[in-house]
Structure 1
């Protein structure tokens, strides 16, 4: 199994969710986060005063999938999250040793 972690722009969340659902992904976890990378934040003007925004709002998606679905899930995220502008995000893929469904005790592929 693989854990796919993606940090994307918030307005792309619904598009990414639809793309993942189309590839057979049945569940995901979403967290609102802030961070910076190549963007390094930006400046904004509020009530006439300029200030630096060092952390940019993002959404973190976490999805656990079987190995054979991982490549298509990553491709779906990349295609649907891309806006061709700086700050589109990052995707990380990690191995998962074990998954357990709390309610039933099912493990691994049956748990996801």
Structure 2
């Protein structure tokens, strides 16, 4: 089992969700996030006050998958979130030690679905 954490551009969320649904990956958590990386933010002026905006809006996806879906899930996110510009995001893949479905008590492979 793997836990896939992806940070993507907010405007790509619907496209990524649609692509994942077509790849039969429908279970995910989505969170608004702020962060910075190589993009490093930008400089802005508001009513004569200058300031740096270095925490940019991102979307964090968390998707728990069985081993056989990991590669397909990662490829789907990359292909649907990619614009080719700096700031497209990152994907982290972590081993998932255990998963428990609260409603039924199922564990492991069966609990992810």
Length-normalised TM-score, structure 2: 0.94
How many positions carry a matched residue from both structures? 112
1:64-100 deviation digits (Å, cap 9, x = unpaired)? 0110111011000001101111100000111111100
Query: How big is the alpha-carbon RMSD for the aligned residues of Structure 1 and Structure 2?
Result: 1.0
Cα distance in 2, alignment partners of residues 55 and 42 from structure 1:
9
Equivalence for 1:9: 9
Q: CA deviation at 1:49?
A: 2.8
Equivalence for 1:23: 23
Note the residue ranges of structure 1 that are not aligned, 5 or more in a row.
none
Equivalence for 2:57: 57
1:52-91 → structure 2 map (5 Å cutoff): 52-91=52-91
Note the residue ranges of structure 2 that are not aligned, 5 or more in a row.
none
1:23-55 deviation digits (Å, cap 9, x = unpaired)? 111210011111111011111222343211011
Cα distance in 2, alignment partners of residues 108 and 46 from structure 1:
52
Cα distance in 2, alignment partners of residues 26 and 80 from structure 1:
15
